[in-house]
Amino acid sequence: MMKMVRTIKYESDRVPGFGKEVMSVPGCEQLKSCIQCGTCSGVCPLSVYMDYSPRQVMELTRSDFKNEVLRSHTIWLCASCYACTVECPREIRITDIMYELKQRAIKERVYPPRFPIPVLAREFTDMVKKNGRITEMVLVMKLFLKTSWLAGMKNWRMGLDLMKTGRLSLVTEKIKARGDIARMLDTVDAKKEN
Ligand code: SF4
Ligand code: SF4
């Protein structure tokens, strides 16, 4: 279980404008009406493992504590179950806000050090953009090298067995129209920025 964060926050920790920026994204506007009731934290099945509860992430985001939310484990532990969004009395799309924060963290390459989930998300996206699809073996190797090579070593036998049965391959797989995929992803990114 992750230890809950109890550090005091100061005015100087804020990044002015961050909350407004997030609330200007379609779907995230309602955040401004959060009443800090805590329903989202209460219904979240994963909040006990999070460093900041969903309620805290909402307030930290709205109050410009950019570094705290982008570096938090919470946004990566969110399983997108939408329980919080369904129950929120102010109809705040908490899950979508979590997605927005994750995207910002990936883009700015700001996340908890050696934490595997964001590394996996970034490597996955980079690989799809480059090859049009992923090659599981290469993805897993990159993940272990960038997080815990020791964990990779411990799983070498399983990797070998999967290779023997043809479930994993070292050959990088590519689609023909990979340029189209890259352009499509760039267009989505550009649209988000405008
Ligand atoms: S349930 Fe909605 S209103 Fe209540 S704290 Fe969470 S986001 Fe805010
Ligand atoms: S969507 Fe994420 S934050 Fe909301 S209840 Fe599910 S796991 Fe928790």
pTM of the predicted structure, to 2 decimals: 0.76
Report which protein residue has its CA nearest ligand 2's atom 2. Answer: 78
pLDDT band at 190 (very low <50, low <70, confident <90, very high): confident
Instruction: Ligand 1 pocket test: pick from 31, 92, 100 the residue with the most ligand atoms within 8 Å of its Cβ.
Output: 92
Per the rule left: phi > 0, alpha: psi between -120 and 50, beta: everything else, 96 is alpha
- The angle that helices 156-164 and 136-146 make with each other, rounded to 10 degrees, is 170
Domain boundaries, the chain: 11-108, 119-193
Beta carbon of 81 within 6 Å of any ligand 2 atom: yes
Instruction: Tell me the three state secondary structure of residue 14.
Output: coil
Per-residue pLDDT reduced to its tens digit, 29-45: 999 999 999 999 999 99
CA distance 134 to 169: 11
Q: Looking at residue 5, what is its pLDDT?
A: 56
Beta carbon of 98 within 6 Å of any ligand 2 atom: yes
Q: Is the pLDDT of residue 3 over 60?
A: no
Q: Kindly report the number of other CB atoms within 10 A of residue 153's CB atom.
A: 9
Per-residue pLDDT reduced to its tens digit, 131-175: 998 888 888 888 888 887 777 778 888 888 888 888 888 788 899
Nearest-atom number in ligand 1 for the CA of 58 is 7
Pick from 59, 50, 66, 58: which is nearest to 18 by CA? Answer: 66
Distance 16 CA to ligand 1 centre (A): 22
Inter-CA distances, 33 with 14, 51, 170, Å: 20, 23, 50
Q: Looking at residue 68, what is its pLDDT?
A: 93
pLDDT band at 4 (very low <50, low <70, confident <90, very high): low
Q: Looking at residue 71, what is its pLDDT?
A: 92
We find that the CATH architecture of domain 11-108 is: Orthogonal Bundle (1.10)
Instruction: Ligand 2 pocket test: pick from 57, 76, 80 the residue with the most ligand atoms within 8 Å of its Cβ.
Output: 80
Q: Looking at residue 193, what is its pLDDT?
A: 66
Per-residue pLDDT reduced to its tens digit, 47-105: 999 999 999 999 999 999 999 999 999 999 999 999 999 999 999 999 999 999 998 99
